[in-house]
Structure 1
Amino acid sequence: MGHTSTVALLGTGIMGTGMARSLRRAGLDVRAWNRNPDRARPLAEDGVVVCESAAEACAGADVVVTMLFDAESVEQVMTELLEQEPDLGSRAVWLQTATVGPEGMARLAELAGRHGIPVLDAPVLGTKAPAESGSLVVVVSGDPDLRDRVEPVLDAISSRTLWAGEEVGVASRLKLVVNAWVASLNAAVAQSVTMARALDVDPRLFLDAIGGGPTDTPYAQLKGGMMIGGEYPPSFPVDSVRKDLDLMALATQGRGYDATLLEALRAVYAQASEQGHGGDDMAAVVEAFRPGSA
């Protein structure tokens, strides 16, 4: 068991907020920072120390967790932080949990190497509810000697940790593979819900028909219900899915991969975003299938 007591969490959006609460619930000291400070302030009610700067959050931290939107934002924040705190790597491990893709993770690993901070590639699987309940799945790759130092953090935020390899970047590649499945499944549910309506069938009968069978998933029932109800409170926003799909397209270029389905997914999520649903939950992709939306 590691001896982590203080965790700096940089980024308190949908995922970071839930992770901060899970870390606190596990008894860890949590110092949080967000570029928009208003997003972080409510965490003070949970016993999280809300900081005005990333450097303040990292003061005395044993583990620095980044959960920002993309590779560019992580790189910008960490570059500034590591220039301000050149000795951070002598005491802390960087646990990089945002979805940044393999190219982004390679840049971040290079940044970490320049500044002498050990880094683990650790994207998380799950959305708002698992983040809040501490039941994410974390896929991790990197130096296995760092495991003990981050174990208390991983235990607090996840129901399971999958160690994918000793090479930084493997976990980021696996995360894209998983999110391709998630984006595909969600879009497939949207297609069937919309097709049911087009064929004058109650779309709830579609969910009833697959319910409990080998083709059913909790995700289909959850997202399908949101699509039928037309309410999309964000758990995994459309624009976040678009970002990940773009990372998939970049990562698979030149690898002999047929991107026909990937390009179709990019098109329908882009359509939903352009219709004003970028900040809504990914279930809002159903709007791209509606008549006249193309």
Structure 2
Amino acid sequence: MPARTSALRGRFDLAMTTTVAVLGTGIMGTGMARSLARAGLEVRAWNRSPERAAALEHDGVRVCAEAGEAVSGAEVVVTMLHDTVAVLDVVAPLLDDLGGAVWLQTSTVGVEGVEQLAALAARHSVPFLDAPVLGTKAPAENGALVVVVSGDRGLEDRVRPVLDAVGSRTMWVGDSPGAASRLKLAVNAWIASVNAAVAQSVALTDAFGLDPRLFLEAIGGGPTDTPYAQLKGGLMIDQSYDASFAVGSALKDVGLIQDAATTVGVESRLLDALSAVYAAAARTGHERSDMAAVREAFRPE
């Protein structure tokens, strides 16, 4: 038995009856549901497109036809949906039926979005935690996300089995919802920037008539190198764009960051440029491709 699996099983000996509903089984929700099931929790999953959740049955996840079925009797309800509108559409009709379950809101919805969701939860007396995650497909599948949480710390024991199953570590960053989502936007601004900068340098190296791998070799092991640059740069050079985090999702998040930056008075010219290049990549037909496909926005016309 792998060491991590053994550790997880030991960690959850006292939490085997914890029931978790996962609403939204896209790239991230699917990986999180598998990690929860692997940790020994009882997992129910729902997705608007049922076929995207069906494979989870092989991982011990109960796939539900209705969101209400998934949340019935659950102790923790995890939302991992595209945006605020999607979360509201799915969760609002369910709030009076949660029966005291903690709502662990992991979607990236921005500052205004999390304020809307937290206010909605408060009106229905639903315990709510703002808990966006850092990481993409592989960390979600491997239970290695970083979960950033803000809200009532008194809820920690109730959600700890879930946090430990999906994440390698948890950061509590505030006592009120919103702080975690703000930090997530700051992190995503850096990720979107690094990814686009790597794409630009790969494109320049290629256009200069050089092997673009020379760029990665040149920064390799130096102070400006990062594992992320090597990973995404390799995907760009190979044009391997199977989505871990899609161009369209990156574009959505950059829009949320632009809105937040404007609200707090932070200069947004870099964000405006990022929005333009990710939008250009989407127009090349790569909206659902991995964000490494932003490389396509730098090809000479």
TM-score range, shorter chain: over 0.9
1:32 matched to 2:32? The reply is no
1:195 aligns with 2:233: no
C-alpha distance in structure 1 between counterparts of 2:59 and 2:32, whole Å: 12
2:122 is the alignment partner of 1:122: no
Which residue, out of 205, 209, 215, partners 1:206?
A: 215
Secondary structure, in 3 states, of the residue corresponding to 1:163?
strand
1: distance between equivalents of 2:172 and 2:264? 24
Q: TM-score when scaled to structure 2?
A: 0.94
Unaligned 5+ runs, structure 2: 1-11
Q: Aligned letter for 1:189?
A: V
| 1:79 aligned to which of 80, 92, 107 | 92
Are 1:157 and 2:166 matched, yes or no? yes
- Residue type of the partner of 2:79? T
Kept in 1, the 8 Å contact 2:134–2:184? The answer is yes
The one-letter code matched in structure 2 to 1:68 is L
Inter-partner Cα distance in structure 1 for 2:214 and 2:97: 60
Runs of 4+ in 1 over 6 A off after TM superposition: none
Q: Percent identity?
A: 65
Q: 1:137 maps to what in 2? A: 146
Matched pairs, number: 288
Residue 106 of structure 2 corresponds to 97
CA contact (8 A) 2:39 2:165 kept: yes
Counterpart check, 1:168 vs 2:198: no
CA apart distance, 1:108: 0.3
Matches within 5 A, 1:1-294: 3=15, 5-82=18-95, 86-88=96-98, 90-292=99-301
Aligned partner letter, 2:42: D
Q: Deviations over 1:24-44 (max 9, x none)?
A: 010000000000010011100
C-alpha distance in 2 between matches for 1:114 and 1:13: 29
Is the CA contact (8 Å cut-off) linking 2:72 and 2:97 kept in structure 1? no
Q: Which amino acid aligns with 1:16?
A: G
For 1:253, what is the secondary structure of its paired residue?
A: helix
Q: After superposition, what is the alpha-carbon deviation per residue over 1:144-187, rounded to whole angstroms, capped at 9, x for unaligned?
A: 10000000000000001010110100100100000000000000
Contact 2:281-2:297 within 8 A present in 1 as well? yes
Q: Read off the aligned partner of 1:30 and give its amino acid letter.
A: V
Q: CA deviation at 1:91?
A: 2.6
State the Cα distance separating 1:87 from its structure 2 match: 4.3
Q: In structure 1, what residue type is equivalent to 2:111?
A: P
Q: Distance in 1 between matches of 2:264 and 2:231?
A: 34
Question: Which of structures 1 and 2 has the larger relative contact order (alpha carbons within 8 angstroms, sep 6+)?
Answer: 1
Q: TM-score, normalised by structure 1?
A: 0.96
The structural deviation recorded for 1:255 is 2.2
Residues 209-258 of structure 1: per-residue CA shift (max 9 Å, x gap): 11111111111111101110112000000000000001011112142211
Q: Deviations over 1:104-126 (max 9, x none)?
A: 00000111011111000000000
Q: Take 1:267 and 1:12, find their aligned partners in 2: how far apart are those partners?
A: 29
Q: CA RMSD in A?
A: 1.1
Looking at structure 2, the residues matched to 254 and 70 of structure 1 have their Cα atoms a distance apart, in angstroms, of 19
Pair 1:41–1:185, CA change in 2 (3 A) = same
